[in-house]
Amino acid sequence: MIYGLRPTSDRLDGLAIVEQMEGVIEEILASEWKIGAVVTDNAGQCGRDRRILAPKYPNIAFLIWFAHDINNLVKAVLKTVFKKILEDAAGAASFQHQNGWFMLLKQ
């Protein structure tokens, strides 16, 4: 469940994010909800946030959003290994689209 989507300030450092996260956690706990986990991406400031907040809230698991890491891994592979192939494929598709060429497959 996503509890709160709050506007961000001009400060994007780890301590500013800790302050916002701690405010949301305290608000939820004050309303007598139980928090099992807090999930963030794996950015540097989020890691710092987890290290700061975990000792304050030992009953809450602070987790990394695994899908974010997988997405970054796939992008890194596609940018290196398959970059030329993807550029050629995009160029061919663009050429066909611009010139009205379509491939017809016959059985």
Note the pLDDT of residue 106: 45
Note the pLDDT of residue 42: 75
> Does the structure show a pLDDT above 60 at 105?
no
pLDDT in tens, 5-55: 677 777 766 688 888 889 889 999 999 888 998 888 777 777 888 889 999
Model pTM greater than 0.85?
A: no
pLDDT in tens, 53-78: 999 999 999 988 877 778 778 888 77
> Does the structure show a pLDDT above 50 at 107?
no
Give the C-alpha separation, 40 to 51, whole Å: 12
AA identity, residue 65: W
Higher pLDDT, 11 or 102: 11
SS3 34: coil
Determine contact, residues 36/57, Cβ cutoff 8 Å: no
Spatial CA neighbour of 38 closest among 19, 27, 53, 17: 53
Q: What is the dihedral sign for C-alpha 64, 67, 71, 74?
A: positive
Q: Where is mean pLDDT largest: 25-34, 87-96, 98-107?
A: 25-34
Note the pLDDT of residue 40: 82
